[in-house]
Every structure is written in structure tokens, then in C-alpha cells.
Amino acid sequence: MKKIPRAVGYVRVSTPGQVDNTSLSYQTKVIKNRANADGVNLIKIFSEEGKSGTNTNRPQYQALMDYIDKNDVDILYVYDTSRLHRNLEGMTLDLKWFRVHNKKIIFVSQGWDSSCEDDYDMIITQAIVDAKYSRSIKNNSLRGLTSRAADCMHTGGKPPYGFKVNRDTMLLELDETTAPAVKKMFEFYADGFGTADIIKWLKDNGYKTSKGNDFKVNTINEILHNEKYKGCYTWNKAISKDEDGKRNTHKHKESYFKKEGGCPELVTPEMFEKVQERLNENAEKHSNRAPDRYYPLTGMIYCSCGSPMCGGVRYSKDRKYYKYNCNNKCGTAPIRADYLEAFVINAVSTCLFSEPNRQPLLDALNHISRNIKDTSNKEYRALRRALSGLDDRHRNLMAALEKGKVTDSIMNSLEKIERQKGEITTKIKLLSRGSHQFNEADLQKLQEGFDHYMITENTINNKYLLRKIIERVDVDEEQVRITLKCGISIDKSTKITMKGNDDMIRRPYIAPEVRYENTEGMILGFYESENEGTVKVKLALMIASPWSYDVVDIEMPTEYLYKMANESEVNIFELVGAKVAAQIKLKDDQLCGIMELDAR
């Protein structure tokens, strides 16, 4: 019995809008008719959309060749030579490979069979013509794009995040829904925050890339380097693609077209330059190692030698100790992070919520609440307009489907629109909430949870608040001094308390000479105990005033902690940062337990 040849097909368009005798559906129809007339078994057709034939960096082309190599395939059907390649080298290599493996390519519209010697020569000749035609199109396109760029018009592809294209003028305009996110990226980075902080903020606030994905470091870096955001239109900046159609997006030409004021300004030139300076500085000292702990005081601590101090970890007896170390490695001893943070945050809390600051704080909170509502009203209207536009596009695409125009492009567009509608609807719901009027009870709640939240929650807003309050924290071998920024008032009683005690004494733990009875302090953390039924608790206990601490480790029954957590209606680990009143018993000058521990 004669074997029925097995075949596959390949169809390609370089742009989704190609129609008539170059559309994917037409090419597919012609190939199926020819395979049916030849009496072969057409197994499948590989369909490529939006990819140039000048290189082989095409997903479906690569899948096609891999399939033919691994399966029993005799014939490849292609509509014409230009659909397979617009590159002489690529065509020559494929023809040789098919001949060596006793397979053939049939170019349907031209009637050529690669296994025929005369047709083989015609295919090579046509491949030369196709390659020349491709170069001609590229040159003509380049002239057209150069003309459009001279008028600062959009030259194709997706506009930069934060912009949209006016379809009447083809000029860039600010996108009201995404431009605020870009502005925040620049502001945060200029204020010293890292890309990880920015990515977390974007995710927490529901922002996605134009493809609907979470932002990555590379995406943020591309945005921060883009001159268009300072109002400078650029074109032909990227280096050319290599032979495989790939481009290094991190490099650009030394000379390219640019025009100041050629597009809307999203950030000031001064802020843009400030960001570039910091990007260059960070590029020189970049490290891929991410810290395994949140260090809230990073960027504010300075060693006695004048160098910044940064968070790090040290090991002793198989335990981790988190510390702030001098960047200059001048020899100053590192300081324990948990000790320092408890002291600094408590100092900030005491000052921030002191009597002269309470009413200004309430006024500021209510002012922010009103402003957020006013801003959200603008954003609400912008989101409503965006949602209406998506609804119109959705209806148009559904109408095309009803007429039988089912293409990958339409289905992908529908999927993208559905995702965007979901994201915008969620934001609209959030913005529909009314503004809150803060009162003294709200302020008291904020004060009670302030220390714990500021120490444990790694958010860009927390870091921003600390930087607005703290000018700097200076550390030497003897003490830690906190300098607050102007505008933080301190009442008389707080000043008296602070007088002579506004430094944190850096002392190692020594068994106290006094019994801590009814003393106040703060829980710094919990650690595993060797004794069953107990847990180690690290406490910062006040020894003279709210500004002097002894940090001690004690053991206590685990049930006490659970009882305290239940009474406070929180998870046990949320007790870190809680203010406590403690009664502690001593035995042979060693702390050995807690008689009472009550959350305040």
C-alpha cells in the first residue's frame, strides 16, 4: 500500500492588518486547497503574526522547524517564498537542510517545488529579489519615519508608559490613568528609594505594565532613563538589531534625533537629571544581593567618621544578628539593628505625638484626606473615560467576531481589554469611598500602633515618613544622637524628660544591679527556647527615662504570650513593638523570668 505523504504548512504576516492575498486566512485557505489536491495528509499549519521575514527570530518558525526535525514530515507548504524568508542566507540554509533530509518545500502561489532542480534555481533567484525588496521597503519606511519624527509624531509601536497617542495628530499626550504612576516613580527614586520599593508601591496601588504584568526592575530602569518624560522627544535612539533580530535595550546610539519640548513634560528637567545622577551612582556600586531583612533607618544613619551606615547580618553561635555597619569600614563597632530601631522609632513617636503636635497632626491628616478625595475625583473621571473607551473597543471587537472574523489578534485584544477593564473597575471602587474625618480617638490609635508598624512594615510610605521627620542619626562608640527636621515641636515636659538623656547609650548587656519592678519597655522579638513550654523574649526596658534602655533576654511561659495576644486580639507576632509594663524577678544576678507582662 502506497504511503500517504505527511505535510505541514507555514503562514506569516508582518503586520496584523495585512489583507487580501497576504492575510493569514487567505494563505491558510490556499495551502489547504493545494494539500487536498495533492492528496497529502496536512497535519497542522503554523501561523505567525507580526513578525518580519528578514530574520529567523520568529517563535512559530522555530516551532515549525523543530516539529519537522522531530516528526515524520515529508512536505512543507508555504504560500510564497517571501512568507518563509526575506533573507537569502535563511532561504539557502533551509533549502539545503530539506534536500539533505529528503524533504521538500512547495511554494504554492509560485508553483515551485524545492526538489526540482529548475525550480530550485528560481527559488534562489526570487529569494534575492525578496531580500532586495525588503531593504527597499525598509529604506522607504525609514524616510517616512524620519519625516514623522521631525514633527515629533509617534513612529509606531506602543507609546511609553504614561503616554497615549492622539489618533488625529499622532502626537503623544499624557495618559491620565498611568501618568501619575510614572511621576511617583521619579519622585520616589529622586528621594532615595530603590526600585524594589517602587515596584512594591506600584503593586500595592494596582498598577500594571501595558501588557498587564507586574513591574520588574528592568522596566523601571527603562522608564527612569527615558528622556521623553522630561519633555524631550527622541527617535532612533536604540542600537540596531543583530542578525537574529535581537536588540540590546540597555545600549543606545551616541547620536540620535532629539527635540526639547517635543512631547508633554511629565517631570521637570531638574528632577530627571537628579534621577540620572543617582542611576549612574548606583550603577557603579550595584549588587544583586537583596537584604533578607527590612532596615527602616537605611539612608539616615551616619558613622562618627562621616560615612553612611547600612544594614547587614552577622552570625554568632549559629544565630543571626542584624546590625548597621559603617560603609567605610573605619573600625567603629556595628550597632544592633533591633536595639537601634526600637530606640529611634520610640523617640520619633514620643516627639511626633507630643502635645504641641497633636492638633497640627489632626489638621494635616484631615487636609491629606480631603486632598486625596479631590485628587481621586479627577482620577475617578479619568478612569471612567478610560473604561468607556475600553467598552467601545470591546463592542467593536465583538461585532467583528459575530461577522466571523476570528483571528489571534482579535482574541488577544479582547483578553487584554477584559484584564484592563477589571483593573480599572477595582480602582474605581476604591476611589468611590468617602474621605475620613480624623479625630483624637483616631490619633490615639495611630500612636498605639506607630512603633510596631514603623519597625515591621516595609512600605515606601513608612520610609518616606521617617525621612520627612528625621534629619539624621549619628552613631559613635559611646552614643547615638537623633537630629529631627525643623517643624517637629516638643512640649516642655518632653524636653525635660529628654534633657541629658537624648542619646542612646551603647552598652553591652550586663546583669542589672537593680530589680526591674513595674518598669516600662517594649517587646523587640521572640526566640526559640531550649526549655519546653517557654519562649525567649527580647525586651527594651527603660532604666532612667524614655530615652535610656537596657535590652535584655528573658524566658517566660509561652502561655503568657498567647494570653496577652488573645486579650489584645492580635497574632502573637504582632506584639513585636508593643509597649509593656513588666515585673521581673532576679536569681543570682541573672534575669530568669517574668512575673507579669501586660500590653499597654
pLDDT at 229 over 90: yes
Please give the residue that has the higher pLDDT: either 88 or 16.
88
- What is the arithmetic mean of pLDDT over 337-355? 78
Please give the residue that has the higher pLDDT: either 492 or 335.
335
Specify the pLDDT at position 330. Answer: 85
Place of cell 544576678: 589
Specify the pLDDT at position 142. Answer: 66
Q: Which domains does the chain have, with CATH numbers?
A: 6-138 (3.40.50.1390), 163-284 (3.90.1750.20), 292-506 (no CATH), 507-600 (2.40.50.140)
The band of 158, judged by pLDDT with boundaries at 50, 70 and 90, is confident
pLDDT at 47 over 90: yes
Among 203-212, 267-276, 479-488, which stretch is predicted with the lowest mean pLDDT?
479-488
Please give the residue that has the higher pLDDT: either 418 or 547.
418
Q: How far is residue 12's CA from residue 48's CA, in Å, rounded to a whole number?
A: 5
pLDDT at 576 over 90: no
Q: How far is residue 155's CA from residue 235's CA, in Å, rounded to a whole number?
A: 8
Task: Report residue 577 CA to chain centroid gap.
Answer: 29
Place of cell 527617535: 235
Among 129-138, 308-317, 340-349, 534-543, which stretch is predicted with the lowest mean pLDDT?
534-543
Specify the pLDDT at position 37. Answer: 94
The band of 5, judged by pLDDT with boundaries at 50, 70 and 90, is very high
Q: How far is residue 201's CA from residue 181's CA, in Å, rounded to a whole number?
A: 9
pLDDT at 102 over 90: yes
What 265-268 contacts at long range (C-beta under 8 Å, 24+ apart), as own/partner pairs, is 265/229, 265/230, 265/231, 266/162, 266/174, 266/179, 266/182, 266/183, 266/186, 266/229, 266/230, 266/231, 267/182, 267/183, 267/186, 267/187, 267/229, 267/230, 268/230
Please give the residue that has the higher pLDDT: either 176 or 514.
176
Nearest residue to 196 via CA among 177, 213, 161, 221:
221
Q: How far is residue 447's CA from residue 457's CA, in Å, rounded to a whole number?
A: 15
Q: How far is residue 370's CA from residue 358's CA, in Å, rounded to a whole number?
A: 18
pLDDT at 292 over 70: no
Specify the pLDDT at position 588. Answer: 47
| Non-local CB neighbours of 95 within 8 Å, separated by 6+ positions | 105, 114, 120, 123, 124
Q: 412-421, 480-489, 491-500 — which one is most confidently predicted on average?
A: 412-421
Mean pLDDT of all residues belonging to the chain: 78
Range 342-364 burial, b when 16+ CB lie within 10 A, else e:
bbbbbbbbbbbbbeebbeebbee
Residue 218 exposed, middle or buried by CB count within 10 Å (0-12, 13-18, 19+): exposed
pLDDT at 56 over 90: no
Three-state SS at 71: coil
- What is the arithmetic mean of pLDDT over 87-105? 92
pLDDT at 39 over 90: yes
Place of cell 483624637: 440
pLDDT at 589 over 60: no
Q: How far is residue 239's CA from residue 319's CA, in Å, rounded to a whole number?
A: 50
Nearest residue to 13 via CA among 22, 21, 5:
22
Please give the residue that has the higher pLDDT: either 180 or 284.
180
- State the cell numbers at 246: 535581537
Specify the pLDDT at position 373. Answer: 56
- Tell me the per-residue pLDDT of 114-123, one tens digit each, with 9 for 90 and over: 999 889 989 9
